[in-house]
Structure 1
Amino acid sequence: MRKIGLIGGISWVSTSDYYTLINKGINEKLGGLNFSECLIYSFNYADIKKNNDANDWDSTFEMLFKGCEFLKSGGAEAIILCANTMHLIADKLQKAIDIPIIHIAEVTATAIQKKEIKKVGLLGTKFTMELDFFTDKLSQKGIEALIPESEEDKDFVHWTIFEELGRGIVTEETKKRCLEIANKLIKNGAEGIILGCTEIPLVIKKGDLSVPIFDTTLIHTQAAIEFQLS
């Protein structure tokens, strides 16, 4: 089994999901008492968010680079960034380290392409929705991304990720509003919805919408499992 390194704490809620899903996936493949051989470097999310709010991605890069180097020194053969937003600096990190980073947007784009879908709705932090680090990976596969049209809707999704979901808080009111926003995207032509934040699956689940859901946490962890067993 190939050893992987997880960059976590961004947030701890989704890091816990990553650890659970990867270990369950390995066990489903190998049975017995076989589980994932992995390392986790978990950050204090407050330090990361302070940088991001100040648009100081260089400081965030330095923090994650040190984390990646730590995991590499422990024998990790690939890096998993356990958050969509952190992939804003994934390409820069990849150039700085000599082990692969399994990119969440690339594996998500591949999953969408397999469904022969050309237009998807994207929900995530405002960084993920508005910047091009995620959508560029989609467009390279011929996939168009739609994001919420109103600033109010984008602000709501962004706020709830940091103030509720990232703390493990789930409410029916937030679920209802997120589904309303997703359904607006479907009305505008989205043939599928990307849950482009690793916490959004807490409120939008399979069967909640009339179109396919692309859970980036599930897709990303499956790619990690495939790497480990390759």
Structure 2
Amino acid sequence: MKTLGLIGGMSWESSAEYYRLINQGVRERLGPKASARLVLWSFDFAEIAELQTAGDWPALDALMVDAARRLESAGAEALLICTNSVHKSAPAIEAATSLPLLHIVDPSAKALKADGHAKVGLLGTAFTMEQAFYRDRLEQQHGLEVLIPDADDRADVHRVIYEELVAGRIEPASREVYRGVIARLAARGATAIILGCTEIMLLVRPEDSPVPLYDTTRLHAEAAVALALG
């Protein structure tokens, strides 16, 4: 079994899900006493969120590279960034270490294409929805057409993530907001929705959507188990 290095704490709510899902996956594959070999670097998310809001991505790159190198020194044989939006730093990490990085977009895109989806909706932080680093990988490397919510809906989706979900707050009113956003993406032709923030799965469920939901946290964790076990 390979040792996986997890760059987490962004937020710890979703990192806890990664820990649970990866260990459950290993146990299902290897037996009831088995668990995953993991090394976790957990950030103070307040520091990360401040840099994101300021748009200081070079400073974020430096923090992510430092975390990756620490995990490599601790014995990690492959890396995961346990959040979607900080995959903006993926190229910097890949350039700075010799370890393979399991990119969160790839298992999600693979699952979508296997299920026959070509036009998909994307929910996430404003960074994930509006900047090119995430959509370009879906479109250019995987051939998917990506729809994002309109400006007002993007603001609502982002606000709920940063004001509620990262703090562990699950508000029924916000679930209704997300249901409306999802319905509008489906009405524009999206046949599936990417939950492109690792906290969104804490809020919405399959019954909240008229089209299938693809949880990047779960799909990333499943791919991590496959990588760890070869």
> TM-score by structure 2 length?
0.97
Match of 2:160 in 1: 160
Structure 1's unaligned 5+ residue stretches are none
Structure 1 residue 106: Cα displacement = 1.6
Q: In the alignment, is the contact (CA less than 8 A) between 1:193 and 1:214 conserved in 2?
A: yes
The residue number in structure 2 matching 1:82 is 82
What residue in structure 1 maps to residue 148 of structure 2? 147
Residues 60-100 of structure 1, C-alpha deviation per residue, up to 9 Å, x if partnerless? 11111111111101110111100000101112211111101
Separation in structure 1 between the aligned mates of residue 66 and residue 159 of structure 2, nearest angstrom:
28
Q: Which residue matches 2:13?
A: 13
Count residues in correspondence: 229
Matched-pair contact (CA < 8 Å) for 1:104–1:220: yes
Alignment of 1:44-193 (within 5 A): 44-139=44-139, 140-149=141-150, 151-193=151-193
C-alpha RMSD of the superposition = 0.8
Q: Secondary structure at the match of 1:186?
A: helix
- The CA distance in 2 between the partners of 1:110 and 1:98, in whole Å, is 25
Partner of 1:209: 209
Deviation at 1:113, TM superposition (A): 1.1
Which residue is equivalent to 1:228?
Answer: 228
State the partner residue of 1:42: 42
Query: Partner residue of 1:218?
Result: 218
Instruction: Give the drift of 1:208.
Output: 2.4
8 Å CA contact retained: 2:7, 2:80: yes
Q: Using the alignment, how far apart are the partners of 1:72 and 1:15 within structure 2?
A: 19
Matched AA of 1:12? W
Q: What is the percent sequence identity of the aligned residues?
A: 40
Tell me, in whole angstroms, the C-alpha distance in 2 between the residues paired with 1:4 and 1:100: 10
Aligned residue type for 2:76: A
1:35 and 1:218 mapped to 2: Cα distance? 17
Counterpart Cα distance in 1 of 2:61 and 2:152: 29
Deviations 1:206-229 (A, max 9, x none): 232221111000000001000110
Give the counterpart letter for 1:14 in structure 2.
S
The alpha carbon displacement at 1:110 in A equals 1.1
Distance in 2 between residues matched to 1:28 and 1:9, nearest whole Å: 26
2:206 match: secondary structure:
coil
Moved over 3 A (4+): none
User: How many Å separate the matches in 2 of 1:206 and 1:71?
Assistant: 35
Deviations 1:112-139 (A, max 9, x none): 1111210000000010001111111211
Equivalent residue, structure 1, for 2:194: 194
Cα shift at 1:199: 0.4
- Answer whether contact 1:109 1:137 (CA < 8 A) is retained: no
Give distance in 2, aligned partners of 1:159 and 1:94. Answer: 30
